[in-house]
């Protein structure tokens, strides 16, 4: 036999399909005995309601979609348990929907919203270069979490959505200032593609500002841009970019890498070049993924405030769902977590430093 419908169950139980529907959906207006009898049959025949029919008919579900662009990103993976906790606490059903890096998130969001009668959407990751008019197409409450460059390209961006992220420029500035404070003056960087308009640009900007403030000239030979053809924040890319820098003619004592996974690749490139971390080269990553703790030496990195970000995303979404017309754009402070991958040159050459001054 193919697959059961509510009609089959109704026939078997000798009741109407309305009654079966009520039994399944725990409608209070049903006789408990009837309900039990029906549920017995439901179990016996392993009847599963067709969600397409259900979604089609229902006015609104209680479901929120978490749409993730870039499922391979361990930073996002680290957020899932927090989202789960918050969404459940908010009393929502939710599901995770992953989309590829090339997918059109606005289209997908609207498509799923229709299909599932969503109550709201949290979009995690990706970049958001869409003008406001495009964003407006999404007819359900929407929150952008950790979406790179949101609002950057559209000064009016965000009048229809809320967003939560960190201040990339500021955090990069923090990292490089920290390195300067530790006596580093030749500081390399592994960043995104040349001409990046999102994270790469913001973090590069922070890097440059910190250098400037410390009286260090910007030297493009110390910046490795990502290959246009392979725009992934992977170990392989980090390895390859770091190797390129190491083979360059410019010396440096530290490197700031804009993603932890790339920094792991950079670690290996440094080791393969016969150098030590941090003795020869100091490394600072970005994101704060779990793995960085397990590197040798454990990696100093910028830990994004995952808990705050997820909490706020859910809260802002709930506010919208509950009718608030206010849209907020929250920027959280990340934490530069000191571990063992940065050498304090002041401690190594205290005398020399004094002479310099």
With respect to DNA, which residue has the nearer C-beta, 32 or 220? 32
**In angstroms, what is the minimal distance from the CB of 134 to a copy of itself?**
9
**In angstroms, what is the minimal distance from the CB of 111 to DNA?**
10
Burial class (CB in 10 A: 0-12, 13-18, 19+), 170: middle
C-alpha distances (whole Å) from 343 to each of 15, 28, 217, 239, 328 are 76, 67, 22, 21, 40
Binding site for a copy of itself (CB under 8 A): 2-3, 46, 48, 50-53, 55-56, 71-72, 77, 80, 96, 98, 107, 110-111, 114-116, 137, 139, 234-236, 239, 264-265, 267-268, 271, 290-291, 293-296, 298
3-state secondary structure 150-206: CCCCCCCCCCCCEEEEECHHHHHHHHHHHHHHCCCCCEEEEEEECCCCCHHHHHHHH
**In angstroms, what is the minimal distance from the CB of 63 to DNA?**
13
Q: Residues of 229-239 as b/e, b for ≥16 C-beta within 10 angstroms?
A: eeebbbbebbb
With respect to a copy of itself, which residue has the nearer C-beta, 116 or 174? 116
Token pair recorded at residue 89: 């606490």
Give the Cα separation of 120 and 109 in Å (integer): 10
Considering only CA atoms, give the Rg of the chain: 26
**In angstroms, what is the minimal distance from the CB of 288 to a copy of itself?**
14
Please write down the long-range contacts of 228-233, taking CB distance under 8 Å and 24 or more positions apart: 228/193, 228/194, 231/192, 231/193, 233/73, 233/258, 233/259, 233/261, 233/262
309 binds, among a copy of itself, DNA, none (CB under 5 to 8 A by kind): none
Smallest CA-to-CA distance from 112 within 123, 125, 127, 101 is with 123
21 binds, among a copy of itself, DNA, none (CB under 5 to 8 A by kind): DNA
Alpha helices for the chain (secondary structure H): 6-13, 17-24, 32-44, 51-57, 74-89, 105-116, 132-135, 168-181, 199-213, 235-247, 260-272, 291-294, 306-321, 345-348, 350-356
Integer distance in angstroms from the first to the last C-alpha of the chain? Answer: 86
Binding site for DNA (CB under 7 A): 3-7, 14-19, 21-22, 24-25, 28-32, 34-35, 49-50, 53-54, 56-59
With respect to a copy of itself, which residue has the nearer C-beta, 190 or 211? 190
Sequence-separated (6 or more) residues with CB below 8 Å from residue 307: 82
116 binds, among a copy of itself, DNA, none (CB under 5 to 8 A by kind): a copy of itself
With respect to a copy of itself, which residue has the nearer C-beta, 80 or 82? 80
With respect to a copy of itself, which residue has the nearer C-beta, 53 or 352? 53
224 binds, among DNA, a copy of itself, none (CB under 5 to 8 A by kind): none
109 binds, among DNA, a copy of itself, none (CB under 5 to 8 A by kind): none
With respect to a copy of itself, which residue has the nearer C-beta, 101 or 248? 101
With respect to a copy of itself, which residue has the nearer C-beta, 116 or 203? 116
15 binds, among DNA, a copy of itself, none (CB under 5 to 8 A by kind): DNA
346 touches 353 (CB < 8 A): yes
19 binds, among a copy of itself, DNA, none (CB under 5 to 8 A by kind): DNA
25 binds, among a copy of itself, DNA, none (CB under 5 to 8 A by kind): DNA
**In angstroms, what is the minimal distance from the CB of 286 to a copy of itself?**
17
**In angstroms, what is the minimal distance from the CB of 133 to DNA?**
22
11 binds, among DNA, a copy of itself, none (CB under 5 to 8 A by kind): none
Token pair recorded at residue 116: 């599932």
With respect to a copy of itself, which residue has the nearer C-beta, 31 or 77? 77
């Amino acid at each position: 036999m193919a697959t059961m419908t509510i009609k089959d169950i109704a026939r078997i139980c000798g009741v109407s399909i309305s009654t079966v529907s009520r039994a399944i959906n725990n409608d209070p207006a049903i006789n408990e005995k009837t309900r039990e009898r029906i549920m017995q049959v439901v179990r016996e025949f392993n009847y599963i309601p067709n969600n397409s029919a259900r979604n089609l008919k229902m006015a609104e579900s209680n479901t929120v979609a978490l749409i993730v662009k870039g499922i391979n990103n361990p930073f996002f993976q680290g957020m899932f348990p927090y989202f789960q906790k918050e969404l459940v606490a908010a009393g929502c059903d939710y599901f995770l929907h992953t989309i590829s890096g090339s997918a059109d998130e606005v289209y997908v969001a609207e498509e799923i919203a229709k299909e599932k009668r969503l109550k709201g959407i949290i979009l995690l990751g990706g970049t958001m270069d869409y003008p406001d008019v495009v964003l407006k197409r999404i007819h359900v409450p929407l929150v952008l979490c950790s979406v790179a460059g949101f609002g950057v390209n559209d000064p009016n961006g965000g009048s229809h959505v809320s967003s939560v992220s960190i201040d990339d420029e500021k955090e990069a500035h923090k990292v490089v200032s920290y390195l300067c404070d530790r006596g580093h003056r030749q500081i390399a960087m592994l960043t995104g593609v040349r001409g990046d308009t999102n994270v790469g640009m913001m973090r590069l900007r922070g890097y440059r500002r910190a250098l400037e403030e410390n009286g260090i000239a910007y030297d493009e030979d110390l910046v490795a841009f990502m290959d246009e053809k392979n725009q992934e924040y992977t170990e392989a890319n980090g390895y390859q970019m770091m190797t390129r820098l190491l083979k360059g003619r410019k010396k440096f004592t530290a490197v700031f890498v804009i993603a932890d996974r790339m920094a792991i690749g950079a670690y290996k490139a440094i080791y393969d070049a016969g150098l030590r971390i941090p003795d020869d080269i100091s490394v600072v990553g970005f994101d704060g993924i779990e793995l960085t703790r397990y590197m040798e030496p454990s990696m100093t990195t910028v830990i994004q405030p995952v808990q705050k970000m997820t909490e706020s995303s859910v809260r802002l979404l709930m506010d919208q769902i509950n009718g608030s017309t206010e849209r907020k754009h929250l920027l959280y402070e990340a934490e530069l977590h000191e571990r063992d991958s940065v050498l304090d040159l002041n401690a190594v050459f205290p005398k020399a430093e004094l002479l310099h001054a």
